[in-house]
Amino acid sequence: MNRLFDALTFGPTRRRRSLDKQFRQLSEAYRSGAPLGGPEPPRGGLSRRPPASSGFGGPAAPAGPGTGRLLLVLAVIIVVVGAVLVGARSLSGSSRPAGIDGPVESFSPVPDEPSSTRPGLPPAGVGSSPDRLLPVVAFPPGRGGYAFENTTVTGGPVTWDPCRPITVVTRTAPGMPTSGDRLVQEALSAVQQASGLKLVQEGNSNEVPTAKREAYQPQRYGRRWAPVLIAWSDPKETPELAGRVLGLGGASRVTVTPPGEPGITGYVTGSVTLDGPEITQLARSQGTAAARAVVEHELGHLLGLAHVPDRRQLMYSETEFGVTSYQSGDRRGLAQLGAGACTPGL
């Protein structure tokens, strides 16, 4: 049987092990009547901690089907796997592991734009000032860890332009907390203070959140980079919020190469999507500080912070009791993200 699997899956041991695993899972599901698997966890948003009483176990599965049924199941697997391997011999992207327990980020940034002209991009430098809008935040002391979502070829983080405001619009929705507007305002104030980047609220928008949001939407927002969208939603509208995920956040980076000049890379917009009903429940059970912590966590992703394995930091991937604001590691990372150079060429 192993030789048959080898021939049908082009031989590599990795694919054979994967097929064996799928066969065992399907056989077990077939015997027990349980559904197999489910969608892959969304990338990176903050998630609830599982309840302490949760666990595995249950009654033993009934006896399995006869050999004929198992051979039928095997035939189905071979057909499906063969179609997948022939039609998609190589993956078109990669999945960045979180490195810690919990989901990884689901926001899909707009691809880099390497054009030496600006087709499909707004005019360069819209809203730019000659100097920083706010002073650089002193690198705070502490031993807490931090990590960046994206780095440059020199090893530093990709950053926002400190010489122009990060404009923000909000999409309200039924089910959001009654204190939702205040939670957003307070979280924006906290991330501005910690980073030295100026965030400006422009009002409400009816834009629907999507994982593949366009960075330039002139019909909706004019000839400039689209403002950051903070959208209250729910798992029905945003499937990535299903399960224990409370929010999603991330930034879109763009690279522009003017004629005869080196490329310029920076964040230009982004989005934060919040599970309104779940955060409402969180506010009722644990208080508004815990609910605001979710928004601050996602704004940390927006500015460029990644998850860390340090439970003492707000950028840990799951809600932690007692951690309701940016901690030493979070602040050190945000200060570095806010100390980037002005990029009027973007």
Asked if residue 187 and residue 82 are part of one domain, the reply reads no
Q: Which residues contact 165 (CB under 8 A, 6 or more apart)?
A: 127, 133, 198, 199, 200
CATH of residue 282: 3.40.390.10
- CA of residue 202 relative to chain centroid, distance: 24
Both tokens of residue 201?
A: 């609220």
Has residue 257 been placed in a domain? Answer: yes
Asked if residue 324 and residue 225 are part of one domain, the reply reads yes
- CA atoms 282, 283, 287, 292: torsion sign: positive
Whether the predicted pLDDT of 261 surpasses 90:
no
Has residue 58 been placed in a domain? Answer: no
Instruction: State which amino acid sits at residue 327.
Output: Q
Helix (H) or strand (E) holding 294: helix 288-303
Burial of residue 312 (number of CB atoms within 10 Å: 0-12, 13-18, 19+) = middle
Asked if residue 181 and residue 303 are part of one domain, the reply reads yes
Asked if residue 89 and residue 170 are part of one domain, the reply reads no
User: What share of the chain has pLDDT > 70, as a percent?
Assistant: 66
Cα(170)–Cα(187) distance, integer angstroms: 13
Both tokens of residue 211?
A: 């994982």
Has residue 141 been placed in a domain? Answer: no
Asked if residue 170 and residue 268 are part of one domain, the reply reads yes
Asked if residue 195 and residue 82 are part of one domain, the reply reads no
Asked if residue 183 and residue 83 are part of one domain, the reply reads no
Mean pLDDT of 215-227: 96
Q: Are strands 247-256 and 264-275 parallel, antiparallel or unpaired?
A: antiparallel
Residue 144 banded pLDDT, cuts 50, 70, 90: confident
Mean pLDDT of the chain: 76
Domain-ending residue, one of 47, 76, 93: 93
Residue 157's SS3 state is strand
Has residue 29 been placed in a domain? Answer: yes
Residue 324 banded pLDDT, cuts 50, 70, 90: very high
Cα(211)–Cα(249) distance, integer angstroms: 10
Q: DSSP states of 50-104 as a string?
A: PPTT-----SPPPP---HHHHHHHHHHHHHHHHHHHHH-SS-SS-----SSSS--
Cα(160)–Cα(133) distance, integer angstroms: 12
Domain count, the chain: 2
User: What share of the chain has pLDDT > 90, as a percent?
Assistant: 58
Residue 274 banded pLDDT, cuts 50, 70, 90: very high
Choose between 270 and 92: higher pLDDT: 270
Whether the predicted pLDDT of 294 surpasses 90:
yes
Q: DSSP states of 220-246 as a string?
A: HH-SSPPPEEEEEE-TTT-GGG-TTB-
Asked if residue 31 and residue 176 are part of one domain, the reply reads no
Has residue 51 been placed in a domain? Answer: no
Containing structural domain, residue 4? 1-35+66-93
Residue 286's SS3 state is helix
For the chain, the C-alpha Rg in angstroms (whole number) is 23
Residue 44 banded pLDDT, cuts 50, 70, 90: low
For the whole model, what pTM was predicted?
0.69
Which stretch of 27-41, 95-109, 208-222, 239-253 has the lowest confidence by average pLDDT? 95-109
